[in-house]
Amino acid sequence: MDSKERYRVYSQYLRERYGEKVYKIPINLPVTCPNRDGTAGCGGCIFCGEEGAGFETLSKFIPVAEQLETNIAYIRKKYKAQKFIAYFQNYTNTYLSLMDFEKYMAEACREDVVEIAISTRPDCIHDDYLKYLQELKIRYNLTITIELGLQTVNYHTLKKINRGHTLAEFLDAVLRIKNYGLETCVHLILNLPWDDEADVIEDAKFLSALGIEQVKLHSLYIRRDTVMGKMYEQREFEIISMEEYVHRVILFLEYLRPEVVVQRLIGRAPEENSLFCNWNTSWWKIKDRIDEAMAELDSFQGKRFDYLHGRALREKHR
Cα gap 56→59, rounded to integer Å: 10
Looking at the DSSP assignment, which residues form a beta bridge with residue 251?
A: none
Closest CA to 278 of 250, 239, 249: 239
Q: Which domain holds residue 211?
A: 3-316
Confirm whether pTM is higher than 0.75: yes
pLDDT tens figures, 126-135: 999 999 999 9
pLDDT at 93: 95
Task: Give me the chain's average pLDDT, please.
Answer: 93
Cα gap 188→118, rounded to integer Å: 16
Contact of 137 with 143, CB cutoff 8 Å? yes
Total domain count for the chain? 1
Domain of 218, CATH number, reads: 3.20.20.70
pLDDT at 165: 93
pLDDT tens figures, 231-278: 999 999 999 999 999 999 999 999 999 999 999 999 888 878 899 999
> How many residues in the chain?
318
Per-residue pLDDT at 176 exceeds 90: yes
169, with CB counted inside 10 A (0-12, 13-18, 19+), is: middle
Cα gap 64→101, rounded to integer Å: 11
Q: How large is the average pLDDT for residues 141-167? A: 96
